Amino acid sequence: MRKWRLFLPEPTTLFDKLWNSHTVAALPGGGTLLAIDRVFLHERTGASALNSLAEAGRAVADPARVFAVTDHIVDTRPGRTDKTLMPGGQDFITETRAAAKAAGITLFDVNDPDQGIVHVISPELGIILPGCTLVAPDSHTCTQGAFGALAWGIGSSEAEHAMATGTLRLNKPKSMRVRFSGALAEGVTPKDMIMTLIARHGAAGGKGHAVEFAGQAVQALDMEGRMTLCNMATEFSAMSGFIAPDTKTLAYLEGRRYAPSGEDWDRATQNWRQLVSDTNAAFDTEIEIDASAISPMISWGTSPEHSVGISGAVPDNASERPLKYMALKPRQKLAGTPIDAAFIGSCTNSRLSDLRRASALLKGKTIASHVKAICVPGSSRVKRQAEAEGIDAIFREAGFEWRESGCSMCFYAGGESFDAGSRVISTTNRNFESRQGPGVKTHIASPETVVASALAGVIADPRALQDG
Amino acid sequence: MAEPFTTLTSLPMPLIRDNVDTDQIIPSREMKSTGKTGLADGLFAGWRYTAIGGRDPDSGFVLNDPHYADSQIILGGANFGCGSSREHAVWALAEYGFRAVIAPSFAPIFAGNCVRNGILPAVIDADAITGIAKVDSPITIDLRAQTIRLDDDQSWSFPIDEEAKAMLLEGLDAIDLSLKMADHIATWQAADRAKRPWIYLGAKQ
């Protein structure tokens, strides 16, 4: 009996499988030289990484596996050009274009039909695949872990390293499983799941870990919902977040431009079927959350961990600095707080399913007259599809601006912003001080909650809309 | 390639706030050129100046306190460097003259960026950091011994992984190190290409 056991493979986590299959060498000192399958750059930092590499006399080792896009500071107003409202912004675009050309990498440029936010277009084009490693100088690269891949954000120096060597030098993080058991209630979304996790376990709760999201409520999500869930793993201080691939993952990817086809597809899908954590695999840390008890969430402070259920109040013991910045008081109810603006967009919540759900709630209604509202589709493809379905008309008729795709007002780059000090409800991922403009007070929430609040002119529970 | 880091003695500047994010360290609007320099002036711009985009110092912010004018060490709060992956945050700290940040925890991308630019991210517990700030005297960081010494009686050790330590001590360039293994990488990729051809998007072999 004992002898037989020796031949049974150890139960392994999905994270171990991803890590082991990319281990090129063990490094002296305990680190790993890990193979990097894809690198994605954007115009905010792409030129500096590519130029720095070239200045050091180094080449991009495999340009076919490096991509770039203009998303971060590109203008999102209609009729855009290389010009942006950000001072000097045009240089970032033109220099990235020149550097991408010199390096021989693929660029999805300002008016390319495939342009969009990096974490929206990479899945759309099948650049991210299950079992692959993908890095980008953008902390929300973890979004793409939704495909059963190891995808994470890096700095410029590491981007240069990945491009020059096809590898990164890393220390293996610990493994964590966050299991969402049960089913989400009506009107509750993946955004509320990840905000609940961060509110309960802290913005540093995932430090030192790679996080697998699992459980019934995660399996029930479509691919776009899974991307929203993984998107904010970085707000949990995790290296990355990911979900085991399944039939939904394969159905999403089949036929996409950079996904394998024919015999390669068959071989690939055989390989991908093994990408699950084995039963009894041991994780360093496990967290369990009852999904059925999650309600729509709203942030009150200046870190995503400063979040409560929509019917809740600012905590009694809230610290002074975020309260002062947000002009709120302990025990103040969040619902009913007047807002000045509403934003739907960003790599968290700008996909077609987000816009469909938002427009279903908006249809035939008009937002409060004092609210400035903007919708920015996540990609040019999302925008075209939404327009084909008449979603743009619903947004416009309700009083929203309808924009070209990009990161837009997820962050303030020195150009366009919401009015100084204004209170904004937003589907973005960060509520940091001045993140969306000087003194702007950002409350992050799901698209449903943003719509309900834009209609009411105050922070509002989306479930009331759905009941009606 | 960064300046080697061995020991550092300096009066540490307390900035003990949790979740100091990279937007605060260098606001996006202060990243005005595509290069890695010209960022020091924008360091902590949102807190350092009285108005967004302005340059009038806010005397209430610790960076403007002449007492800490020569400080090369920051005492920080939990989850220091969270938010955007922008390496400009670290370039700005380095250009301004900081060589170490001591905090109870760091965001992972920020900590990696620090090491690659010769800045030590040292983790010790929050109570020790508050204690050091109260004493308000110079401290000595000895990277080889992995210690932070306040005086003869008080010292703390901090963890750091071997490679980060070696890179900081010797000012090593990680790309050079890895390129020495180029043959090994090529061999690994050839084997991997046979297993996972769909990963290699270039010309089929």
* pLDDT for residue A2: 53
Q: With contact defined as beta carbons under 8 Å apart, do A223 and A123 qualify?
A: yes
pLDDT digits (tens, 9 = 90+) for A104-162: 999 999 999 999 999 999 999 999 999 999 999 999 999 999 999 999 999 999 999 99
Cβ neighbors of A310 (< 8 A, separation 6 or more) are: A295, A296, A297, A298, A334, A335, A445, A449, A459, A460, A461, A462
**Probe site for chain A from B26, B29, B88, B169 (most A CB atoms < 10 A):** B29
Question: Which of A450, A205, A200, A199 has its CA nearest to residue A348?
Answer: A450
Q: Do B107 and A237 touch (CB under 8 A)?
A: yes
Q: Is residue B100 part of a domain?
A: yes
A188 closest CA partner among A320, A116, A94, A293 = A293
Q: Which residues pair with A402 in a beta bridge?
A: A375
B136 vs chain A: nearest CA distance in angstroms? 23
Q: Do A414 and B19 touch (CB under 8 A)?
A: no
CB A294 within 8 A of CB A196: yes
- Residue B95 falls within a domain, yes or no? yes
Closest CA in chain B for residue A411:
B28
**What does the H/E/C string look like for chain A?**
CHHHHHCCCCCCCHHHHHHHCCEEEECCCCCEEEECCEEEEECCCHHHHHHHHHHCCCCCCCHHHEEEECCCCCCCCCCCCCCCCCCCHHHHHHHHHHHHHHHCCEEECCCCCCCECHHHHHHHCCCCCCCCEEEECCHHHHHHHHHCCEEEECCHHHHHHHHHHCEEEECCCEEEEEEEECCCCCCCCHHHHHHHHHHHHCCCCCCCEEEEEECHHHHCCCHHHHHHHHHHHHHHCCCEEECCCCHHHHHHHCCCCCCCCHHHHHHHHHHHCCCCCCCCCCCCEEEEEEHHHCCCEEECCCCCCCEEECCCECCCCCCHHHHHHHCCCCCCECCCCECCEEEECCCCCCCHHHHHHHHHHHCCCCCCCCCEEEECCCEHHHHHHHHHCCHHHHHHHHCEEECCCCCHHHCCCCCCCCCCCCEEEECCCCCCCCCCCCCCEEEECCHHHHHHHHHHCECCCHHHHHHC
Contact call for residues A120 and A379 (beta carbons, < 8 A) = yes
Check if CATH label 3.30.499.10 holds for domain A296-467.
yes
Q: Report d(CA A197, CA A214) in Å as an integer.
A: 13
Please determine, for residue B204, whether its predicted confidence score (pLDDT) is greater than 80.
no
CA distance A410 to A348: 10
Residues B24, A37: C-beta atoms closer than 8 Å: no
Number of structural domains in chain B: 2
Q: Would you state the pLDDT for residue A467?
A: 58
State the Cα angle at A115 between A22 and A232, rounded to 5°: 55
Do B192 and B204 have their domain in common? yes
Residue B116 shares a structural domain with residue B18? yes
Which residues of chain B are within 8 Å of residue A27 when distances are taken between CB atoms?
163
Instruction: Read off the pLDDT of residues B138-173 as tens digits, 9 standing for 90 and up.
Output: 999 999 999 999 987 899 999 999 999 999 999 989
Can you tell me the distance from the alpha carbon of B107 to that of A263, in angstroms, rounded to the nearest whole number? 42
**What pLDDT digit, counting tens, does each position of B72-89 carry?**
999 999 999 999 999 999
Query: In this complex, is the C-beta atom of B121 within 8 Å of any C-beta atom belonging to chain A?
Result: no
* Whether residue B49 sits in one domain with residue B100: yes
Q: Is residue B1 part of a domain?
A: no
- Across the interface, whether the CB atoms of A432 and B23 are under 8 A apart is answered yes
User: In chain B, pLDDT over 90 holds for what percent of residues?
Assistant: 91
- The DSSP element (H or E) to which B111 belongs, if any, is helix B108-115
In a domain, B56, yes or no: yes
User: Which CATH code for domain A14-170?
Assistant: 3.30.499.10
Judgement on whether residues B21 and B73 belong to the same structural domain of the protein: yes
Res A398: pLDDT: 98
**What integer pLDDT is reported at residue A4 of this predicted model?**
55
Task: Please tell me which residue of chain B has the smallest CA distance to A161.
Answer: B175
B135 and B195 co-located in one domain: no
Contact call for B105 and A27, based on CB within 8 A: no
Question: What is the ipTM score, two decimals?
Answer: 0.94
Mutate which: A169, A209, A256, A324, vs B, most B CBs within 10 A: A169
B128 and B190 part of one domain: no
Considering only CB atoms, A237 lies closest to which of B79, B84, B192, namely: B79
Do A296-467 and A14-170 have the same topology in CATH?
Answer: yes
Q: Which of B82, B170, B173, B179 to mutate to test the interface with A (most CBs of A within 10 A)?
A: B82
The answer to whether the CB atoms of A165 and B199 lie below 8 A apart is no
Cβ atoms of residues B72 and B140 within 8 Å: no
> Do residue A271 and residue B18 have CB atoms under 8 angstroms apart?
no
Q: Determine if the pTM surpasses 0.90.
A: yes
Q: At a CB cut-off of 8 Å and minimum separation 6, what does B131 contact? A: B154
Residues B88 and B180 in one domain: no
Query: How many Å lie between the alpha carbon of B48 and the closest alpha carbon of chain A?
Result: 14
Substitution target from B21, B84, B90, B205 for chain A, most A beta carbons within 10 A: B84
> Domain of B24: which CATH number?
3.20.19.10
Identify the segments of chain A with pLDDT beneath 50. Answer: 1, 468
Residue B183 contacts A where some CB pair is shorter than 8 Å: no
Q: Is residue B2 part of a domain?
A: no
> Does B171 contact A at CB distance below 8 Å?
no
Chain B, 38 to 77: residues with Cβ < 8 Å from chain A are 46, 52-53
Kindly state the DSSP code that residue B53 receives in the 8-state scheme.
T
Residue B194 belongs to domain spanning: 173-205
Residue B41 to residue B49: CA distance in whole angstroms: 10
State the pLDDT confidence band at B203, using cuts at 50, 70 and 90.
low
Q: Are B200 and A64 inside 8 Å of each other by CB? A: yes
Which chain A residues are Cβ-neighbours of B83 within 8 angstroms? 139, 430, 432
Domain A174-292: give its CATH code: 3.40.1060.10
Residues B167 and B190 in one domain: no
Interatomic CA distance for residues A463 and A460, integer angstroms: 9
Task: Identify the bridge partners of residue A374 per DSSP, sorted by sequence position.
Answer: A343, A401
Q: Do A167 and B178 touch (CB under 8 A)?
A: yes
Residue B186 covered by a domain: yes
Residue B56 sits in the same domain as residue B82? yes
**Residue contacts between A and B (CB atoms, under 8 Å):** 204
Of residues A24, A139, A432, nearest to B184 (C-beta): A24
Task: Enumerate the β-bridge partners of residue A48.
Answer: none
Judge contact between A238 and A152, C-beta under 8 A.
no
- Say if residue B136 is in the same domain as residue B86: yes
Phi, psi for residue A399 in degrees, rounded to 5: 115, 5
Map out the domains of chain A as residue ranges.
Answer: 14-170, 174-292, 296-467
A258 contacts B33? CB cut-off 8 A: no
Residue B160 near chain A (CB below 8 Å): no
Record: contact A56-B117, CB cut-off 8 A: no
**Residue A243: what residue type?**
I
**Residue A125 with chain B: CB contacts under 8 Å:** none
A258 CB neighbours in chain B (<8 A) are: 201
Q: Are A228 and A355 in contact (CB under 8 A)?
A: no
> Do B185 and B166 have their domain in common?
no
Report how far residue B173's alpha carbon sits from residue B64's, in angstroms, rounded to the nearest whole number.
33
For A292-311, the pLDDT digits (tens) are: 999 999 999 999 999 999 99
H or E element that contains B142:
strand B139-142
Domain check: are B134 and B161 in the same one? yes
The verdict on a CB contact (< 8 Å) between B196 and A167 is no
pLDDT at residue A87, as a whole number: 87
Q: Is the pLDDT of residue B205 over 60?
A: no
